[in-house]
A and B are shown apart, each in its own frame.
Chain A
Amino acid sequence: MYTKKAIAKDWRRNWKLYLLMLPVFAFYIIFCYKPMYGIIIAFKDFQPGLGIMQSPWIGFENFIEFFTGNYFTRTLSNTLIISISNLVFGFPAPIILALLINEVVHKSFAKTVQTITYMPHFVSLVVVCGLIRTFVAEDGIINYIITFFGGEASNLLQKPEAFVPIYIISGIWQEIGWGSIIYLAALAGVDQELYEAASIDGAGRLRQTWSITLPSILPTIITLFILRLGQMMNIGFEKIILLYSPMTYETADVISSYTYRVGLQEFRYGYSTAVGLFNSVINFVLIFIANTISRKVNDTSLW
């Protein structure tokens, strides 16, 4: 199959394409694969003065410490809770928005809504967290609404039970518009004749959405869903760190924020790498499961 001759021929014909691919290839080698060698410090008692190679091996000690430590169950379950809620509530939101925008008759109104909803995506995360802090503060707008309806004002960021909702809702607010763009593009490609045929058959708006629009954009939804699964455990620790406090560690402290605290603030790189590696392993397992299910159920999969 791959004889020398064939390869040489292919090279002669396509060498420009290979050249084009080179930067991408280099990017992955330099920024994704080369740093992986650093993972070995998860199995070492890493001492910066000795360097990665010369630090002594300690086997699985770092892992054992994490698994038997006080924070294992808590960070793991928080990570799972936050990422699953993020998926369950965060994923459908842009689809719903896109469907709604699609139904709007006034094109200028639709465009305005679209612009307004995707603006927050471009605001820096630090600023967004500053806004959230102000909104949920004791004298902030959210509490104003709560007291208006007879509730009691309190600093919501100090309440462990309020952390996950704040995290998820603000995430939806920030990404809903941006996320809907791709669905709107898919919606634009749906054959208009299908709608005409359906309305002649007496299908109402809801029925049309359910039976025509959704099936038409289903491949897009599934592809994005799998891609999203791949990032499930990669909870942005920046946002967590900007919002949490010892008051809310109970529900807010996830594996990545714990890694950050232990690694960069307490200077235990080896241990912190072990924890991070564990996070990646779970992440990999999740993608693998999701991908397998997806392939079995509807023939769409990443590999």
Chain B
Amino acid sequence: MSARAAIVDWARACYEDLRFSEARRWLEGGKGRKACGHLPVYAPRELVHASGMLPVGIYGGGDMLEIIRGDAFYQSYICHLPRSVVELAQSGRLDFLSGVLFPSTCDVIRNLSGMWKVLYPGLYVRYLDLPQVPDPGLATRFWKKELQTLVHDLGEVSGAPADEATLRASLGVFNEMRQLIRELYRARREAPWRVPSEELYLLLRAGEVVPVEAWLEKTRGYLKAAERDAAPIKDRSRVVVVGAFCEQPPLGLIKTIERAGCYIVDDDFLLGNRLLSREVPLAGDPLTNLAEALVRHAVKTSVLYEPNPEGKKALMKERVEAAGADGIIFAAASFCDPALLDRPMLRAGAEAHGIPCIAFKYAENSGQFQQFREQAGTFADAIKLWGGISA
């Protein structure tokens, strides 16, 4: 087996492993090691890392977990993610976590933080209100204070509070991670036949649950191998997938979109892992820098307020141009407020610029992909027949 295939296999194993074995192994590998989980979309993992703990992204059970207990907590008109998250927790699969962070993604995740407090009273739980105000000064001051509180709390949990040095080091490491992710995305954008979306996705999922240092090594290896790949170029339409930033689509759906005739050249899967679009400066006060990085340089997303009235109208055009794409697939989880409420505005903006679009909903445990295959296939063909952006 090639080195590259071995890396993909490793990533796949991480993705499929709902017991988080790699994380558990890391914990056992040292005295007093702890782990702290977080829900989508964005959490400042650097701070967890700087406190000596392993940050673990919790993305539910996808289509790999049968929900027995989780459904007792949620009505049918709420998205699937919190059910599988609760299922993971109630079945003991998350028992290695010493804390969980809940960012302000939407009201479901918000309320889940409160449920966690009731269900696991001994655990550290913190809700993170991301800064939303347009004024960067106000927002930075607010967010920095939040980060300070978080650092303090995480220090109590881990017993090894972060200091300026460790903070700076962690910022550096996660800068590297984000940079490598951007490299992966660039490689795929430039030559998607070399970097299948399935492989990219598996690597990113692995990055959520393993120590970042290990991930960097494996991913660098993958990228080197991929860039040398002589895979055949296929005549596929280039699409951007928008809206799948929280509850993740099943892997089968991602594969289906590509198999149906598309290259996914940009997406917002696991957006949190690259929400900061620029390097966080290492000189100066780490928390101020990290706070500013989010306030000033966050990628546009449905979970953050858009202060510019023209922002949503232009966003899809910017995304499509940056990716050299032909069209957009709006893919949202059923009942997902952020994605579905934004969609009419984003889509109107796209269509005003003549960008072809299709839209559908999925659930993390969608079992049949027939309708997606048909839609994506027809879309890919239409783009080839009638061209991409026409305005």
Check if A and B associate. no
Footprint of B on A, CB under 8 Å? none
